[in-house]
Structure 1
Amino acid sequence: MIIEKIVTNIEKLDQEELNKRHKEKVYLESAHLVKRIQRVETDHGRELGIRLKEPRDLEAGDVLYMDEKNIIIVDVLSDDLLIICPRSINEMGTIAHQLGNRHLPAQFEGEEMLVQYDYLVEELLLELGIPFKREKRKVKQAFRHIGHSHG
């Protein structure tokens, strides 16, 4: 089966619609959410080709296929993350500046800044005294690098 467009996202479906269908999941690493063309396999062994026509990243909860009986949903594997919890705008500005200089992509959830684990960033946070924790967590979207050069 070739998937060329995303049907919807499960957040847009009501629970009754979701519960009446047999669910299969495609587990992807967060880095693979940006790939518009890829071969994947569901947790039930069904092979799929994804060839998205629209220029958009996949997200956790995207529905790749749905009929009256079945639904195939994207899920994301947990990433090794640094969860940064600045206590002030000064700490936030300091770490944002430092990470920006390294071109590290970040995501935000509430008051937390999420970056993929890097021992150098961990050492920097310890040196600056900015609170953080390391944990495995699923992210909804891929960490996307912003194209930029210092040319």
Structure 2
Amino acid sequence: MLIERIETNIEDMEKEEIFKRHVERVYLESDHLVKRIQRVTTDHGREIGIRLKEPRDLVAGDVLYMDEKNMIVIDVLADDLLVITPRTIKEMGTIAHQLGNRHLPAQFEDEMMMVQYDYLVEELLQELEIPYNRENRKVKQAFRHIGHSHG
């Protein structure tokens, strides 16, 4: 089976539309969400080729295939993350500046900043006394590095 476009995202579907179908899942590491061309295997052992025609990243919940009885959905494996919860705007600005200098991609959810685990960042958080937890957590999209050079 070759997938060239995303049907929809499961979050945009009515619950009854989901429940009436058998769901197969494709589990991907978050950094594989940026690959438009790849070969994957569902949790039922079905091999699928993905070659997206549109230039977009995959997102957790994307429906690769759907008919009246079945659907194949992208799911993401948990990442080893530092979940940072600054108490003040000053702490947020300080850690955001420090991570920006390191060109580390971050994601935000509610009042939390999430970065992929790095022992140097963990040491920095301890030194700055900014609250954080190390957690295995699923993210909906890939951590993207933004190209930049200090010319």
TM-score band w.r.t. shorter chain: over 0.9
Find out whether 1:95 has 2:95 as its counterpart: yes
| Structure 1: gaps (5+ residues) | none
Q: C-alpha offsets along residues 73-108 of structure 1, whole Å, 9 cap, x if unaligned?
A: 000000000000001110000000000000000000
Tell me the residue number matched to 1:141. 141
What pairs up with 1:44-123 in 2 under 5 angstroms?
Answer: 44-123=44-123
Cα distance in 2 between the residues matched to 1:83 and 1:22: 34
Tell me the residue number matched to 2:11. 11
Cα distance in 1 between the residues matched to 2:149 and 2:71: 42
Q: C-alpha offsets along residues 25-70 of structure 1, whole Å, 9 cap, x if unaligned?
A: 0000000000000000000000000000111000000000000111
Cα distance in 2 between the residues matched to 1:21 and 1:141: 25
Q: Could you tell me which amino acid in structure 2 is paired with residue 102 of structure 1?
A: R
**What secondary structure does 1:39 align onto?**
strand
Q: Could you tell me which amino acid in structure 1 is paired with residue 30 of structure 2?
A: S
Cα distance in 2 between the residues matched to 1:52 and 1:149: 30
Cα distance in 2 between the residues matched to 1:88 and 1:127: 16
Shift of 1:23: 0.6
Cα distance in 2 between the residues matched to 1:23 and 1:133: 33
Q: Could you tell me which amino acid in structure 2 is paired with residue 51 of structure 1?
A: R
What pairs up with 1:17-56 in 2 under 5 angstroms?
Answer: 17-56=17-56
Percent sequence identity is 79
Cα distance in 2 between the residues matched to 1:39 and 1:29: 13
Aligned length: 151
Cα distance in 2 between the residues matched to 1:40 and 1:131: 38
TM-score after normalising by structure 2: 0.99
TM-score after normalising by structure 1: 0.99
Cα distance in 2 between the residues matched to 1:128 and 1:12: 41
